[in-house]
């Protein structure tokens, strides 16, 4: 429900400050006061507060504040949406023509709006689509910081997003970008930003971060809790894997198919060189392995990674892939040895596990060292036209 009419239409590009709140009656007034004294006072800003499902009168407090604050627009709804849906709906409801730039921050006062100028300074350089506030000092209980660290690390490995604080809820973005990414977020049931950052990275958007402070929360967290943590960890982990498969699933299947054909090349050549030409089998195997690497490289280049923007020379890619494939062989042998000799598994079961591990190694190392680009990503130079102008100071 819109509680206040839109402010006078203005031709100036405006910044939309977007903030979700749920059961924050005790602190929302001071949070808005602080925003008014900082960001709202210094820039052409409309502050959008999205409340749903509060039982403590947050909606009434917001209505009261809105009556005397023309730059504030409040939206409320009786049913609690949960953080991810509330954030997604909030971002998607902003008119990108009127508000070309969007600042998101949580409405619990943990982020300091004075840090906005740091985000803005970085944003104005035009190097990033999304500027994140990187929380330098987080004081959180261990039950929360450990799973969070694990998920952040995993996201770093899987998506290489270019920023560390992937769950930050303090972000300055082009509204179009924020909406394009938010529209795709669908798996994360608690966090939202973990998946948002992953998708933004997969979609080729540039994310950078600047250090911001992070204050101790007034009032309890509305999303997390000690007993919910195992479930949250499991569900968010699932969300990350799902998201990853959305972008990389077909590529992994292609990579595996090429691996299978490579194995056939090895077997065929081994037979031809030893069975037909009489070369000692270890020599044949070495030749066959190198030949299969060449074969697989050609297929990866032409098929598996055909859509990936190539940033280095063909020779460098080939050398990198060659090393990766040989290292993969070593990984396979070490895993086979470890499972068979140390864990005492049957050697064929060991080799099966070793193949799975070596496959994972090969894929990730190939993406890290040989085909490093993103599908269809454009080079930085071509993107320069997207430099944001937006946001003027008052
Ligand atoms: N609109 C809306 N806001 C929510 C909901 N859940 C949490 N929030 C708000 O989202 C922000 C972050 O929530 P918080 O409890 O601080 O999560 P934490 O910082 O991760 O512990 C706060 O401003 C909450 O009031 C929800 O279901 N709907
Ligand atoms: Mg919080």
What are the helix (H) ranges across 300-386?
Answer: 314-337, 347-365
Interval between CA 230 and ligand 2 midpoint (Å): 19
Interval between CA 298 and ligand 2 midpoint (Å): 50
Helices then strands (H, E): number in the chain? 12, 7
- Provide the β-strand partners of residue 2: 75
Domain boundaries, the chain: 15-244, 248-370
Which residues sit with Cβ closer than 5 angstroms to ligand 2, an ion? 106, 108, 110
- Mutate which of 18, 19, 22, 152 for ligand 1? The one with the most ligand atoms within 8 Å of its CB, which is 22
Query: Strand 72-77 vs strand 45-52: parallel, antiparallel, or unpaired?
Result: parallel
Superfamily holding 15-244: Spore Coat Polysaccharide Biosynthesis Protein SpsA; Chain A (3.90.550.10)
Distances (CA, A) of 52 to 56, 83, 274, 328, 336: 11, 10, 73, 52, 55
Rounded to an integer, what distance in angstroms lies between the CA atom of residue 299 and that of residue 128? Answer: 34
52 CB within 6 A, ligand 1:
yes
Angle separating helix axes 83-92 and 175-184, nearest 10 degrees: 140
108 CB within 6 A, ligand 1:
yes
E strand residue ranges, the chain: 15-21, 45-52, 72-77, 101-105, 130-135, 170-174, 207-212
Q: Could you tell me the pTM of the whole model? A: 0.85
Per-residue pLDDT of the chain (394 residues; tens, 9 = 90+): 544 444 454 556 699 999 999 999 999 999 999 999 999 999 999 999 999 999 999 999 999 999 999 999 999 999 999 999 999 999 999 999 999 999 999 999 999 999 999 999 999 999 999 999 999 988 888 998 999 999 999 999 899 898 999 999 999 999 999 999 999 999 999 999 999 999 999 999 999 999 999 998 888 888 888 889 999 999 999 999 999 999 999 999 999 999 999 999 999 999 999 999 999 999 999 999 999 999 999 999 999 999 988 878 999 999 999 999 999 999 999 999 999 999 999 999 999 999 999 999 999 999 999 998 876 654 443 344 444 445 655 5
């Amino acid at each position: 429900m819109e509680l206040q009419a839109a402010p006078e239409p203005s031709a100036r590009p405006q910044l939309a400050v977007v903030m979700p709140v749920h059961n924050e009656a005790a602190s929302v007034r001071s949070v808005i006061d602080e925003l008014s004294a900082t960001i709202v006072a210094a820039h052409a800003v409309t502050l959008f507060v999205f409340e749903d499902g509060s039982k403590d009168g947050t909606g009434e407090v917001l209505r009261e504040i809105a009556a005397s604050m023309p730059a504030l627009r409040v939206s409320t709804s009786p049913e609690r949406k949960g953080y991810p849906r509330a954030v997604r709906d909030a971002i998607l409801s902003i008119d990108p023509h009127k508000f070309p730039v969007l600042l998101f921050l949580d409405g619990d006062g943990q982020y300091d709006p004075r840090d906005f100028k740091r985000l803005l300074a970085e944003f104005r350089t035009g190097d990033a689509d999304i500027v994140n506030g990187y929380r330098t000092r987080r004081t959180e209980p261990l039950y929360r910081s450990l799973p969070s660290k694990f998920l952040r690390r995993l996201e770093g490995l899987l998506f290489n997003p270019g920023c560390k604080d992937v769950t930050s809820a303090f972000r300055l973005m082009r509204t179009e970008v924020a909406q394009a990414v938010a529209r795709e977020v669908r798996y994360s049931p608690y966090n939202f930003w973990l998946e948002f950052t992953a998708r933004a990275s997969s979609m080729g958007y540039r994310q950078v971060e600047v250090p911001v402070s992070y204050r101790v929360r007034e009032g309890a967290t509305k999303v997390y809790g000690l007993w919910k943590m195992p479930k949250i960890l499991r569900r968010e982990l699932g969300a990350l894997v799902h998201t990853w498969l959305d972008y990389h699933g077909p590529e992994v299947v292609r990579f595996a198919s090429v691996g299978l054909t490579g194995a056939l090349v090895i077997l065929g050549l081994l037979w031809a060189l030893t069975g037909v030409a009489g070369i000692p089998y270890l020599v044949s195997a070495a030749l066959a392995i190198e030949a299969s690497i060449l074969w697989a490289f050609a297929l990866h280049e032409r098929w598996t990674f055909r859509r990936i923007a190539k940033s280095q020379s063909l020779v460098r890619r080939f050398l990198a892939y060659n090393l990766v494939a040989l290292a993969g062989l070593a990984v396979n042998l070490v895993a086979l040895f470890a499972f068979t000799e140390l864990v005492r598994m049957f050697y064929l079961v060991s080799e099966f596990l070793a193949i799975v591990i070596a496959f994972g190694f090969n894929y990730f190392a190939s993406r890290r060292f040989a085909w490093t680009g993103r599908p269809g990503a454009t080079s930085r130079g071509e993107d320069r036209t997207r430099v944001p102008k937006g946001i003027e100071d008052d």
